[in-house]
A and B are shown apart, each in its own frame.
Chain A
Amino acid sequence: MAQINILGSFQDPKSFDQGAGKLVNVRVVPRDPKEAKEGKVRFVGAPGLTQVCRPTAAPCIAICHALGTIWTGHADGSIYSGVETGSPTLQGFVAINATQPIIRFAEDRTALCIASNANTLTGRTGTGYTGTLAAGVVNCGFDTSINFDPSTVAELDNMTLWSAASNYYSSQDSKIYSSNPLAPATVQANAFATKEARADRVVDLAISGRILWPLGSRSLEQWYDTGNGSEPFHSLSELAHFGWPRVAAVASCNPRRHRICRYRPPRMDVYRPVRPADLAAMG
């Protein structure tokens, strides 16, 4: 009699046969070698979800920690704070593209930074906002101050980075503006960098391991903070000459985990930033 280890088929993540096999709400977890079992992995169920609150029936599409509380953004454009308390507070609304609503959050020490994917003035890409417990959601006014309609935002070294704008205002779709430190809505007109290796537009920004990742429509770059000048971010390298990122399919984990996933047909790639030691060696 032969023995087939069914769990063993799931050990190899590249196994072709995993396409036939299927796990639903079940994960593969490596076993401690000290158990000395024939099977090297076990199956463990995915965790459940315990309800904290339901601020609105509109889908929750963004969630972020800022100012000591948790904020959520919903598909109807509503922004709530204090959701972890079970009694959320409506802080205001942002303009949203009803076809595919997208809200990006970034945590600054002074405010929650918000970018949405609609703009009531230009009818184009997006709008930047800040959210505070005292003043609620406030439009940053970038259309007036720097002719910019950002649809994504990120935070690094106390600077807020705004990008993924349209060209409603001329030649803005490849620019990344950085704010004054700890002043997300204060952006100088010359405080921008241009994603330069390729002439493609910025689709999204991600931060991982203190590296800024501008994700272009056809390329992917890494930038780092030099600490010098009005626009301190400089390009480190270009990673990919091709790509097809879908803005809603980009996700980065906790910065300490150093991982960015990105989808480009026909496969999903994961990127890790360079190590800090490498940056130091680069001078």
Chain B
Amino acid sequence: MCTGQSGQPTSPPWVDLLLQQLTLAQLGQLTAYAYGQGGSDFYVLTLPGSWTIELSSATGVWSYRQSNGRLDHAGRCATEHDGGIVYVGLDTGHVCTLDASNSAEPAGVLSYMILSPWVGSEERRTTYDALDVTSSMGPAAGTFQLDWSEDRATTWRGVRQITMPSPGQRRAIGRNFGTGRRRQFRFQYTSGAQVPFTIDELFLMTTPGS
């Protein structure tokens, strides 16, 4: 009886560490809400002024949320109205509807960022040859910024502005990143010229070194 009654952990180790590093006073400030969109549930946890992380129940993956010009996301509560429209209350006093065809909030256009996990190795040098992308956004989406870091996202190097290949095509958006040990690549889109932001495939081509 009671299948599924026991708690199931949903936080990966990095979320555990994020929470463990909070003081008692900060724990008391945590605020959360949940909402549904597109057949999935999302749980949004915020440390006001510091960060917001969002859990997708469909994938179990957590991601950060940020409103324009701040570290956290402005959303504080949500409800579903008749017809499935999701209303979100913000800490600015605004009441908004969730809009997948829009990249803006009252505070401004959303910025999208993908920071890759570490690639390469600490023991051996790697030649980073190219970064290949497939996206349904296409060249009309405007420019994206690509750069990389070797020091835990402290300093960034190799900044370049790129455009997406035509939808359905796989194309190298950057070549000849040089040789190094571990790296993280960062991909940013801030113009909001086209929604939804979509990256279908992202491959890094490398040559192992010595």
Binding site for B on A (CB under 8 A): 1-7, 9-10, 13-31, 37-39, 41-65, 70, 72, 74-75, 83-84, 88, 100, 220, 222, 237, 239-240, 244, 246, 248-254, 257, 259, 261-263, 265-275, 278, 281-282
Within 8 A of A (CB), among B152-210: 152-153, 184-185, 189, 195-208
Known A18-B62, A52-B96, A58-B93; contact A261-B34, beta-carbon cutoff 8 A: yes
| B203 pairs with A3, CB closer than 8 A | yes
A27 close to B61 (CB less than 8 A): yes
A30 vs B57: C-alpha distance in the bound complex, in angstroms? 12
Note all chain A residues with C-beta closer than 8 A to B106: 49, 51, 54
Contact status A253-B34, CB under 8 Å = yes
Within the complex, the shortest CB–CB distance from A235 to chain B, in Å, comes to 13
**Residue among B19, B61, B102 having the largest count of chain A Cβ atoms under 10 Å:** B61
Tell me the bound Cα distance from A263 to B63 in angstroms: 17
Chain A residues whose C-beta falls within 8 Å of the C-beta of B29 in the assembled complex: 100, 248
Q: Is the CB of A70 within 8 A of B65?
A: no
Say how far A253's CB is from chain B's closest CB, in angstroms.
4
- A83 to chain B: closest residue by CB: B95
Contacts of B92 in A (CB 8 A): 54, 57, 59
B205 touches A1 (CB 8 A): yes
Task: Give chain B nearest CB distance to A182 CB in angstroms.
Answer: 20
In contact, B81 and A84 (Cβ under 8 angstroms): yes
Chain A proximity of B1: nearest CB distance (Å): 5
Which chain A positions have C-beta within 8 A of B34? 251-253, 259, 261
Interface size on B, residues (CB 8 A): 106
Instruction: Tell me the nearest residue of chain A to B132, going by C-beta.
Output: A3
A/B interface sample: 22 pairs, CB < 8 A: A4-B205, A16-B14, A18-B117, A27-B61, A37-B201, A42-B200, A48-B104, A52-B97, A70-B81, A84-B81, A220-B7, A239-B5, A240-B7, A244-B27, A246-B27, A248-B28, A249-B31, A257-B57, A261-B55, A266-B16, A268-B9, A268-B11
A59 touching B90 by the CB < 8 A rule? yes
User: Do residues B87 and A63 form an inter-chain contact, with CB atoms below 8 A?
Assistant: yes
Please measure, in the bound complex, the distance between the C-alpha atom of A237 and the C-alpha atom of B2, giving whole angstroms. 9
A48→B103 contact, CB < 8 A: yes
Contacts of A254 in B (CB 8 A): 36, 41, 80
Residues of the A chain whose Cβ atoms lie less than 8 Å from the Cβ of B100: 47-48
Q: Within 8 Å CB of B144, what residues of A?
A: none
Given A37-B200, A43-B198, A61 contacting B89 (CB threshold 8 A): yes
Shortest distance between the CB of B153 and any CB in chain A (Å): 8
Please name all residues of chain B whose beta carbon is closer than 8 Å to the beta carbon of A53 when the two chains form the complex: 94-95
Please report B residues at the A interface, Cβ cutoff 8 Å: 1-17, 19-20, 27-37, 41, 43-45, 54-66, 75-82, 85, 87-106, 110-119, 129, 152-153, 184-185, 189, 195-208
Query: Which residues in B have their C-beta under 8 angstroms from that of A250?
Result: 32
Write out the residue numbers on chain B whose beta carbons fall within 8 Å of the beta carbon of A5: 201-203
With contact pairs A59-B76, A261-B43, A266-B19 given, residues A1 and B200 touching in the complex (Cβ less than 8 Å) = no
> Quick one: given A39-B201, A45-B196, A56-B93, are A65 and B80 in contact (CB under 8 Å)?
yes
A271 to B3, alpha carbons, bound, how many Å?
11
Q: In the complex, are the beta carbons of A20 and B113 less than 8 A apart?
A: no
Whether B93 and A257, one on each chain, are in contact in the complex, defined by CB atoms closer than 8 angstroms, is no
How far apart are B9's CB and chain A's nearest CB, in angstroms?
5
Which listed residue (A55, A62, A246) contacts B93, Cβ 8 A? Answer: A55
- Nearest Cβ distance between residue B175 and chain A, in whole angstroms? 12
Q: Is A15 within 8 A of B95, CB to CB?
A: no
Contact B65 A44 (CB under 8 A): no
Q: Roughly how many angstroms separate A252 CA and B197 CA in the complex, as a whole number?
A: 28
B88 to chain A, nearest CB (A): 6
Asked if A23 meets B94 with Cβ closer than 8 Å, knowing A1-B129, A239-B7, A253-B36, the reply is no
Which A-chain residue is minimally distant from B66 (CB atoms)?
A: A24
| Cα(A274)–Cα(B5), bound, Å | 6
Q: Is the CB of A267 within 8 A of B9?
A: yes
Q: When the two chains form their complex, are residues A51 and B64 in contact, meaning their CB atoms are under 8 A apart? A: no
Given known A51-B96, A274-B2, contact A253–B41 (CB-CB < 8 A): yes
Is A24 a contact partner of B64 (Cβ separation < 8 A)? yes
CB-CB under 8 A for A20 and B117, given A3-B204, A3-B205: yes
Least CB distance from B99 to A in Å reads 4
Smallest CB gap from B107: residue in A: A49
Which B residues are in CB contact (< 8 Å) with A248? 28-32
